[in-house]
Amino acid sequence: MKQPLTIDALRHGETVKGQCYLGRTDAELTDHGWWQMESAMQAINIADYDVVITSPLVRCKAFAERWVGSQESDTVFLCTDSLIQEYDFGLWDGMTAAGIMLQWADELAGFWHSPEQFPPPEGELITEFFQRLQIFLNTRLASENNKVLLITHGGVIKALTCLNKNRPASDMFGVEAKHGELHRLMWQRA
């Protein structure tokens, strides 16, 4: 039997955009956001990982480049993968829930209730988001890597958790993924 795939997923820290639906918008980390991520990684040894993979968005990639560059390892490398980029909230991207409620109250309620049926206007279909992450997982499961560190987003962590537990996309809203928080997920390989 093959070794399981262990994925440790670190959510980026607080950004200059504050509390909003932050998908494709490329917002930088605040000083507090940097501190959140650095604090989460204090006891983490890069040598425990086969690879570090980051989202291409600056709130993830800038930290990943700095953290990996500060570690001493000849074997671990950093790569960027757009498959673990955050969910695209379309016209809601960068807006607060209160701002969205002023213009799209019914649509937001629908999205919260059933994201598969009610995507944001011009946003990514949640089924496509899950498919994108499943492609990422299939690639990782087929690789020789056994332990992977992701520097990624809250929506990605929530979706991976749902995929890991065979739960529907609507369960994403019940999964907590705080800024600068590290999550461990394991997959058995066939």
| Residue 149 CA to its chain's centroid (Å) | 11
**pLDDT band for position 1 (cuts 50, 70, 90):** low
C-alpha angle 184-188-190 in degrees, rounded to nearest 5: 155
5 to 67, 115, 152, 179, 188: CA distances (angstroms):
22, 28, 17, 24, 6
List the one residue out of 81, 79, 171 whose CA is nearest residue 135: 81
pTM for the full predicted model = 0.94
30-60: string of b/e by CB count within 10 Å (b at 16+)? beebbebbeebbeeeebeebbbbbbbebebb
Phi, psi of 141 (to 5 degrees): -65, -30
Please give the share of the chain, as a percent, with pLDDT higher than 90: 85
Q: Are the C-beta atoms of 87 and 126 separated by less than 8 Å?
A: yes
List the one residue out of 169, 89, 92 whose CA is nearest residue 134: 169
State mean pLDDT over 157-175. 93
| 168-182 pLDDT, tens digit each | 988 988 999 999 999
State mean pLDDT over 70-96. 90
Domains along the sequence of the chain with CATH: 5-187 (3.40.50.1240)
Radius of gyration of the chain from Cα atoms?
Answer: 17
Query: How many whole angstroms separate alpha carbon 21 and alpha carbon 95?
Result: 6
Q: Are the C-beta atoms of 99 and 18 separated by less than 8 Å?
A: no
19 to 1, 6, 9, 70, 176: CA distances (angstroms):
44, 30, 20, 29, 15
Mean pLDDT of the chain: 94
